[in-house]
Every structure is written in structure tokens, then in C-alpha cells.
Amino acid sequence: MTTATGHGSVEQYLDEMFDRLAGTGAAGRRLLSETESHLLDAVEEGRARGLDAEAAEREALDRFGTVTGVVRHVPAAARSIRTTLRRLLSGTWLAAGVLLLWWGGSGVMTWLLGWPWTWLLIATDRFGTQAGMCGRPWVPSNATSDCLTRYRGTLNLVLEGGDRDAYPWLAVGGVLLLAGWLLLRRVTVLGTRAWAPEPAMLGLALALPFGLAAPVLLSYGVAGLFWQAQHWTLSYLTAGLFATAIAIAALRHVRSSASPERSGDRG
């Protein structure tokens, strides 16, 4: 695309916008044409006020806004397989980050809560199911660690007694995935409508599995209090509460995304 400004900053701006509008069809073409016309008029107006070409372009772009901000709300073209695949990739990326953060973060929280939880078990003799937890025969006379350390070492930090060493790395991986997704949405085409997953679909995709898993995990955690299985009940309670929080946040996202649409329909 050739403009009256040659290959200056306006031309670069339009080239970037052209890339960002991929998959938006006629709406994107109209926006690109209108943007070009507006910027050229703004540059000519600046030149008429005595600005040089570079200063006039810079002023026009500063007043118009960033490419990401302008194209963010342009709807993607309907029935586009490429757009569907892009949204699926973006949504899968986000869901994978949430899943890793949930699993690893549950382990981190269980590890942090392990100290007060173990003290509670000792103080209550495992809620009355095992008398004298810190005396023999439960703690051998030749034990090399104190009672707290011994019992805390038996806690399952993740569900089903999984790997005690992997969960912090999974949590870090989840944080990095989510941070990368959010960062790239601000500076690349990942933030455009052609790549953005539908808020309602994404919210339901997260709310449904976590919402179904949460009561199951919590019920196992509560039942473990009375099955003499308190070594794993904390991990189930923590994971269940974390899943509940994710499901609620996802549902709130669905509702907030639907509110503007309802308002627009009423208008």
C-alpha cells in the first residue's frame, strides 16, 4: 500500500494494522481504508501548520492511538476456519496455563498450610481418631525427627499423593504461560478479535470442569477428616477451594462479557 508519506511512520503504522486485521474481512478493510484517509488528512493538516513531514506524522499517530487499541474491537469475519483455529490455539494456551497454575498452586498452598495443619492434627489427636499422636507406639523411641516434622512429612501435597517435587515447577510454568499470554495480547496480533477466544465459550470451558471437580474434591477432603486419612485431606480441600475460585471467576467473566451485549440490545 503506497501513501503520500512514502515509507515513514504512517506507512509502517498502516502495514502493522494490515497484519493485525487478518481474518476480520470487510470490517477490517473498511477500518484500514478509513484509518489511512484519516491519518493522511491529519498529516496534511499538520504540514499546513508548518510542521515537517516527520513531526506531522508523529503528531497524527499520537492523536490516533496505538494499532492494538484501534483494532482490538474489530469483529472477526464469520465462518473463517483460520479464525476458529486461531481462537482455539489462544484459548488452549490460556486454559493450559490455568490448569498448570491450579495443580501446581494447590501443591504450593498445601505445602504452606502443612505446618498449621499438622499442629492441628497433633493438638486434636487427628480429630479424635488416634490418641497420643506424639507418644509411642505412633512415634518410635529411636525416631530421628521431632513429632511435627515426622507427621508433616507424611502429608500428600497434591492429589493422590503425586510427585512432591514437581508441583512448584508446574505452578511456575502456569504463571509463565499466563503472563506470556497477557503480554503478547498487548503487543502482538494475539490481542485482536481474530485471535481472541469468545469470552462466553472460554469462560464456560473453564467454569464447567472446575465447577464439577470442586464439590467432588471438597467432599473427599471433608470425608477424609473422619476416615483417619488426614494425611491427604488437606490437598483435596486446597485443590477443591482453588477449583471453586477458578469456576466462580470464569462465570463472572461470562456474565461481564454478556452484559454489554444485553445493554446494546436494549438500546
Domain map (residue ranges) of the chain: 9-71, 81-261
The DSSP symbol for 65 reads -
Are 225 and 233 in contact by the 8 Å Cβ rule? The answer is yes
Mean pLDDT, consecutive 10-residue stretches, the chain (267 aa), reads 56 81 72 86 88 88 81 62 80 93 94 90 73 57 64 84 83 95 81 74 90 95 81 92 95 73 43
pLDDT in tens, 29-63: 888 888 888 888 888 988 888 888 888 888 888 88
Counting every residue written for the chain, the total comes to 267
CA distance 174 to 233: 24
Q: Which cell numbers in the block locate residue 137?
A: 507406639
pLDDT in tens, 124-147: 777 766 666 676 444 445 444 577
CA distance 266 to 123: 60
pTM recorded for the entire structure = 0.64
Using CA atoms of 197, 199, 200, 203 in order, give the dihedral in degrees to the nearest 10: 90
